[in-house]
Amino acid sequence: MLKAVILIGGPQKGTRFRPLSFEVPKPLFPVAGVPMVQHHIEACTKVPNMKEILLIGFYQPNEALSRFLISAQQEFKIPIRYLQEYAALGTGGGIYHFRDQILSGNPEAFFVLNADVCSAFPLNEMLSFHRQRSDPDSFIMLGTTANRKQSLNYGCIVANSDTHEVLHYVEKPSTFVSELINCGIYLFTPAIFHHIGAVFQRNQQELLLGACIGEESTNGWQRAEAIRLEQDVFTSLAGQGRLFAYKTEGFWSQIKSAGSAIYANRLYLSCYSQCHPERLAQNRPGGPTIRGNVYIHPTASVDASAVLGPNVSIGKGVMIGAGVRVRESIILHGASLQDHTCVLNSIVGWESTIGRWARVEGTPSDPNPNDPYAKIDSETLFREGRLTPSITILGCNVTIPAEVVILNSIVLPHKELSRSFKNQIIL
């Protein structure tokens, strides 16, 4: 049997996702109509003999997460549990800490998925690739191609082109190493814990040594357990004949900034035409005009004269008035778009209201469409002291008056604006 672990992080992570992560843990942020992490769960449930899915992170137990777990278990008919770390233990420390939980029931192997990626999740392909290896204890890492420049922002893999063995691994190098990058999706056998355990032992010894020479040693045992899979484990596993890279041609992107949520929304919507055609809105008599891929929650009310798409997700209970235009945007639940508004490249927060003839517009941060291997740039918010033009984000319960324009701006929650804003963060 198989298991899967999804690393969902915690509130200290995902700050680049603010102000949206104030309201809901980032893994639950809806992308293409469902919580981000539900795409992972769904992919796991399509692997035969998958028996349990574990979410590991350091969020305090909260209602949103509990409700999600209940509904996901009902929908996918599989046990899904949340295991809370006592502190941020890193990508390796969390699974090591909960190794007994993961290993209970003796899974032959388990997947580990980072929550903040969007992907076609070729888990079955990874599994058959694993079974083709001569060594039953081989570990598989999903890789994809990036361009030379952007590869420096990722974990870089050098693999043997015949055997696919990982010969060298380096996280975010400062000079070019390889165009093959780590997708943050792995298939491990229980033997991985020997390797993580070795790092733990080493960390602990170093800490003891440090304590002897008078270094600060408070929470030393905690720090020994903070282990990064990428830097601490893969780097030393490379070249030992155990770690292999499975290269995917399917779509993949990180979801770090809110801008990348718009991109991920588009990627998932485009694969709905294959895997979930029922989730895509159709042009129907008496319904709104739909252009390209659009998700509309069944409880949303959309005027027939509205024009939506491409790449739009409309959440629960959203009200869309007459003559409204929405393109390349996510409208979160309970938001209200009054008549003739125009929303482009934006995320409209929960319960927000946009007045008549207002325009809410952002600048897309899409990867270069002419480079098939280009990834979304994980832009910093500011460049040379100026806000980088990005998508416009309205936090929860923001009110935009009629007839104004909000351009390339971020509006923090519960704000009632009274005029137009451009290229600003509005506290």
Partner 1 sequence: MKALILVGGYGTRLRPLTLSTPKPLVEFCNKPILLHQVEALVKAGVNHVILAVSYMSELLEKEMKEQEQRLGIHISLSHEKEPLGTAGPLALARELLVENSEPFFVLNSDVICDFPFTDMVHFHRHHGKEGTIVVTKVEEPSKYGVVVCDADTGLIHRFVEKPQVFVSNKINAGMYILNPSVLERIQLRPTSIEKEIFPVMAEQGQLYAMELQGFWMDIGQPKDFLTGMCMYLQSLRLKQPERLHSGQGFMGNVLVDPTAKIGSNCSIGPNVTIGAGVVVEDGVRIKRCTVLKGSRIRSHSWLESCIVGWSSCVGQWVRMENVTVLGEDVIVNDELYLNGANVLPHKSIAESVPEPRIIM
Should residue 344 be labelled a site residue for partner 1 when binding is judged by CB under 8 A? yes
CA distances from 269 to 11, 16, 266 (A): 27, 23, 5
Report the sign of the C-alpha dihedral through residues 66, 70, 75, 77, in that order. positive
| Amino acid at position 313, single letter | S
- Mark the segment that binds partner 1 (CB under 8 A) among 88-96, 100-108, 262-270, 399-407: 399-407
> Measured between alpha carbons, how far apart are the two ends of the chain, in Å?
50
Identify which of residues 249 and 403 has a Cβ nearer to partner 1 in the complex.
Answer: 403
**C-alpha span between 423 and 417 (Å, rounded):** 15
Should residue 51 be labelled a site residue for partner 1 when binding is judged by CB under 8 A? no
Should residue 5 be labelled a site residue for partner 1 when binding is judged by CB under 8 A? no
**Residues of this chain, 174-233, that bind partner 1 according to CB under 8 A:** none
Of the candidate residues 102, 342, 348, 411, the single one contacting partner 1 (CB under 8 A): 342
Of the candidate residues 361, 394, 398, 417, the single one contacting partner 1 (CB under 8 A): 361
- Cβ-contact 335, 348 below 8 angstroms: yes
Describe the crossing of helices 36-45 and 258-275 by its angle, rounded to 10 degrees.
40
Should residue 357 be labelled a site residue for partner 1 when binding is judged by CB under 8 A? yes
Identify which of residues 142 and 342 has a Cβ nearer to partner 1 in the complex.
Answer: 342
Residue for token pair 């997460």: 65
Residue for token pair 């198989």: 2
Identify which of residues 181 and 406 has a Cβ nearer to partner 1 in the complex.
Answer: 406
Report the sign of the C-alpha dihedral through residues 381, 405, 349, 323, in that order. negative
**Residues of this chain, 299-328, that bind partner 1 according to CB under 8 A:** 305, 322-323, 325, 327
- Cβ-contact 239, 104 below 8 angstroms: no
Interface with partner 1 (CB under 8 A), residue total 17
Identify which of residues 146 and 407 has a Cβ nearer to partner 1 in the complex.
Answer: 407
159 beta partners: 166
Should residue 403 be labelled a site residue for partner 1 when binding is judged by CB under 8 A? yes
Identify which of residues 147 and 305 has a Cβ nearer to partner 1 in the complex.
Answer: 305
Which positions lie near partner 1, rule CB under 8 A? 305, 322-323, 325, 327, 339-340, 342, 344, 356-357, 359, 361, 403, 405, 407, 422
